[in-house]
Structure 1
C-alpha cells in the first residue's frame, strides 16, 4: 500500500545526464537510486543504469542564457518529465531514449522557470574553467497510475502528494567518450548530474 509522505520528507535520489542537441534543445534522462515508499530492490544485481527498474525522461526544451562574472546561468522554461517502470531494465546512457521505455507510471510538470547555475574558477594565470553546476525546481504531479512491483501495489500520487521540489548538482566537465566513439547521435554535449527531491505532500 502507498503511504503519503509528509511535506519536505525525502522523496527520491536520482542520477542522470543532460543532453544538448546541435539545435540547442536540452533534455535529461536517468534512473532512480532511491524512491521513498517503494519496497523491494530498485535494481537487478546492483545499481547501474542498465539494471534500474525505475527511470525518468524529460521532454526536450530550449534554455536561454545569462551570465554574471564567474556564473553562467541557464534559464529553463517550464516543462514535463515522466517516470517509467522497466520490468526488464534497459537504460543506456549512450542511447538516452531507452530511459523512456516500459510502463509510464507518472508525469510531472515543472511549475515555472528553472535557473541552473554553473560556477567557473581560475587557477593561476589559466583561463577560467567550469567547475560545478546546480539548480532547484518544483514540479507538480499531473498524472499517476497504479502499478505493481515486487508483489506490492503503488501509486506515486498517493506517496508524493502534489509533487516534489528537487535540488540538483551537475558536473561541469562533459562525459568523455573513447577516442573511437562520438557522442550519442544528434547530441553535442553530455553532462552527468545527481538530484535529491522532497515531497510537497497534500
Structure 2
C-alpha cells in the first residue's frame, strides 16, 4: 500500500475510541499498509494518556466523545508532556461542529478527520502527520477561524510572542492563519514555494509550533489575523 510522507520508517499508531467495532475497522484499514503498526488501543481518554506514555506512539488517532476523559482533554494531557518524542494527535469524529475543531487544535492536535474518511486517505493522513505536516483543509481552516473569532473574548493574547519574527516571517504566518497553502503564500508574496517554506519553518521554530495547525491558532490568538 502507498502512504507517502514518512519514508521507509514504520509509523506507530495508538487507536483511541470507545467503540470496539470502530477500532477494529481502523486497525484493519491501517495495517494494510506495511509501514503502519497499531501498537495499542484505548477505550477512553484516560487509558489513552496512559498508553501514550507506555508505548510512545508516533501518531494518536483520537475520538472526541468518550467516557472517563474526553478526547480534547486527553489530547491536551498527552501533548503537555513536552518530550521530543511526543506523539502527534489526529482527532477523528463523526461530528463537524466548529467548537470541536477549534478545541482540538487549541489542545495541540495536528489535524482533524471525519470517521467516514476513505481508507487510503486515512493511511495517507497518518504518514503526513508523522512527517510533520498538519491535516487542515481550507474549509476546516475557515471554520476554525470563524469559530475563534466568534468566541466571547476575541482580544489578542500574548502578542509579544511574535516579537522574534522578521517582518517576512510575520507575513507568512499571517497567510498561514488565513488558510493559504505554501504555494499560495509564495504567489502572494512573490517568492518561490521553497522560499515560503523556509520562512514558514523558521517561524515555526521561533514560535515553538509543532505544525501548521498550531500556527493557525497562534496567528489568530496573537491578533496577527484580526477578527473581521
TM range (shorter): under 0.3
The structure with higher relative contact order (CA 8 Å, sep 6+) is 1
Q: TM-score, normalised by structure 1?
A: 0.25
Higher helix share goes to which structure? 2
Higher strand share goes to which structure? 1
Q: TM-score, normalised by structure 2?
A: 0.23
